[in-house]
Amino acid sequence: MTAAAAPRAMHAPSDVRLYAVLIALLVVLCLIALLIGDVALTPAELASPAGAIILQEIRVPRLLLGLLMGGSLGLSGAALQGLLRNPLAEPGVVGVSATAALGAVIVFYFGIASAFPLALPLAGFAGGAVAVALLYALAGRGASAVTLILAGIAIANFASALTALALNLAPSPYAALEIAFWLLGSLADRSMADVALIAAPVLIGWVLLASTGRALDALTLGDATAQSLGVSLGGLRLRVILGTALAVGASVSVAGSIAFVGLVVPHLLRPFVGHEPGRLLLPSALGGAALLIASDIAARLIPTGTELRPGVITALIGLPFFFALVLAQRRVQP
Amino acid sequence: MRFAAALAAAVTVSSACVAAPPARVASLHLCADQLLLALADRDQIASITFLAAEPTASVMAEAARGLPVNRGKAEEIVSLRPDLVLAGPFSARSTVALLRGLGGRVVDLPYVGSFEGIRAQIAAVAELLGHPERGARLIAQMDSRLAAVAPPRGARLTAAAYQPGGFTARAGSLEDAAIAAAGFDNLATRLDSGSGRVALETLAASAPDLLILGGEADHLPSQQARLLAHPALRALPSARVYVPARLWTCGGWFAADAVALLAAQRAR
């Protein structure tokens, strides 16, 4: 880890290969996502007027949202794990998604978002920022896995309870039944308006998170060494908190919360980047997008009466990883 | 329909046994409220539900004003000591059982999904209340309304009702019957996979001639209602018509007004 302050080995051959594999995988998944749906359409039929509506107004926005949200979850998972030096940190587990959903629910159901659309991603951002700040205050960095998980559970459950309360108080009779959307997410039937609404906050969040690579690498050497290498710990924290809250908060505000993507993806990719948190960031964004798109494809292909939620699939995939990580932690810290 | 016919028969028998028509009738259900308000003497009505006075839910809101209202709880009804309680398809079964257990006479009005069923139910309730001639008049009024807008023979246009969450008019519903009576082919009965829903993609691909909208909560923000504002739906070339939900949520003479609203779109 002595290379922490050296120029990043981003162009090392193994990284190039990793990027090539991830991008190829993502491209294939994107093509599949555009070709499948409730209506079976051949590529030729997609050019017909009805097919063009389906492609441009339904499938493309769904795919773009999946890319934005999946990338946000993977990237913020990798950054949170680096900052908190804890492989269990993840936007869903630490309660960011739940508080972002609470913020979005309040502005959406009570008509604020209809009057001022940008309020929706902003409320998601505010909710997410409160969760990360609370978590940092409650558990701090380098806290034991148990402390982190306890703080996360407390924040997430409290936020989910308030979300259910807000839905019950909402004027629409449909609201009370929509808790599943906020807890398990959905990319179904979103529109380009949703994509346009969250694109800017998500991309700003990505830039903030991607800029933390060198500081996260330095942090693996300890706080004092990192500071001696010129890393501002306060600045690093602020960038991870703001970046996560912007990227994940905005995504959750239009697609609900989807758990475990930020946990599974960095965990899977870590061995390929020499366990360096800085090199893990961008591959995690690509991997997160790939995992969410794949889960959304599975949600559409598995025949259930009502379409399956992508959060169900990611949870089914994520839980074994979570247990494996908990067991690994027990071995390290009995 | 068969239920309604059986009910009509049962009512005829029982009203032959019960000499006088009930003097105090309470209703536990919006659909029963509206029939009661149209067919009973005003002093025969002991209580109706609060929804009966709600103009978005009830066509009899004007007539309901000033009458005592309930929220479908057994306690409220027992204290009124009615001779007859009318319950509906969505009344809490526990409430109905409790009222029956206390010795009250409770008549269940089943859901009606056809105009034949509506005629039978109006006739049955009118008979029950001791005013069969009012029932016959209401039925005749509905039938003449329906006859006035009856569709010509020949090719039918397609129509699809679309509600928040993608819910539609499934086969056997009153909405389905009204769409058919207005001369349209209900696309949903072909597209629905059994969940009562039609996916947005499926609707966009089938492009019905007429898109039927009009729930009461469609304008309040919810994820399911957002579907109705989706660009893919707006891009459809279909004609659009708004049918207020109160016209066909309950089976009543007013369902003919829903048919008339739909039939007016045939000319376009």
Whether B62 contacts B37, CB under 8 Å:
no
Q: Is B202 in CB contact (< 8 Å) with chain A?
A: yes
Tokens 């475990």 — which residue?
Answer: A260
Question: What's the rounded Cα separation, in Å, for the pair B150 and B145?
Answer: 9
Assign B96 a pLDDT band (cuts: 50, 70, 90).
confident
Residues of B with Cβ-Cβ distance to A178 under 8 angstroms: 222-224
Contacts of A41 in chain B (CB under 8 A): 205
Q: List residues in chain A touching B: CB distance below 8 A.
A: 37-39, 41, 50-51, 53-54, 57-58, 108-111, 113-114, 170-175, 177-178, 181, 189, 191-193, 305-307
- Please tell me what DSSP assigns to residue A8: P
pLDDT at A2: 41
Residues in B closer than 8 angstroms to A170, CB to CB, are: 220-222
Per-residue model confidence (pLDDT) at position B61: 95
Query: Which residue of A37, A110, A111 is in closest CB contact with B201?
Result: A37
**B134, pLDDT greater than 80:** yes
Helices and strands in chain B, H and E counts: 13, 9
Strand, coil or helix: what is B93? helix
Q: Tell me the mean pLDDT in the region B170-191.
A: 92
pLDDT for res B51? 93
The pLDDT, as a whole number, for residue A175 is 92
Q: What is the pLDDT of residues B30-74, one digit of tens each?
A: 999 999 999 999 999 999 999 999 998 999 999 999 999 999 888
Q: What is the pLDDT of residue B158?
A: 95
Residues of chain A with pLDDT under 50: 1-11
Question: What pLDDT, on the 0 to 100 scale, is given for residue A334?
Answer: 52
> Does B200 sit within 8 Å of A58, measured CB to CB?
yes
Residue B158 CA to residue B70 CA, distance in Å, equals: 41
pLDDT of residue B9 exceeding 80 = no
Lowest-pLDDT range of B53-57, B89-93, B154-158: B89-93
- Do residue B221 and residue A191 have CB atoms under 8 angstroms apart? no
Q: What is the model's pLDDT at position B13?
A: 44
Instruction: Give B-chain residues touching A307 at CB under 8 angstroms.
Output: 199
Annotate A147-194 with DSSP letters as a single string: HHHHHHHHHHHHHHHHHHHHHHHSSSTTGGGGHHHHHH---TT--HHH
Q: Kindly list the structural domains of chain B, giving each domain's residue range(s) and its CATH number in brackets, ordered by start.
A: 2-145 (3.40.50.1980), 154-267 (3.40.50.1980)
pLDDT confidence of residue A6: 43
Which of B90, B201, B206 is the best residue to mutate to test the A interface, defined by the most A CB atoms within 10 Å of its own CB? Answer: B201
pLDDT computed for residue A22 by the predictor: 97
Residue B216 has pLDDT above 80, yes or no: no
Residues 234-253 in B contacting A (C-alpha not used; CB under 8 Å): 235-236
Contacting residues of A for B221, CB less than 8 Å apart: 108-111, 113-114, 170, 172
Instruction: Give this prediction's pTM.
Output: 0.85
- Which position has the higher pLDDT, B196 or A66? A66
Q: What is the ipTM of this complex?
A: 0.81
Cα(B79)–Cα(A171) distance, integer angstroms: 32
What distance in Å separates residue B9's CA from the closest CA in chain A? 38
**B197 and A306: CB-CB below 8 Å?**
yes
pLDDT at B128 over 90: yes
Q: What is the mean pLDDT of residues B4-13?
A: 48
pLDDT (0 to 100) of residue B91: 81
The residues, ordered by sequence, that sit 6+ positions from A96 with a Cβ below 8 Å of its Cβ are A76, A128, A131, A132, A244, A245, A248, A249
Amino acid at A5: A
Q: Which residues in B lie closer than 8 A to residue A174 (C-beta atoms)?
A: 164-165, 217, 220, 222-225
d(CA A45, CA A25): 25
B231: chain A residues, CB-CB within 8 Å: 57, 191-193
pLDDT in tens, A121-172: 999 999 999 998 888 888 776 677 778 888 888 999 999 999 999 999 999 9
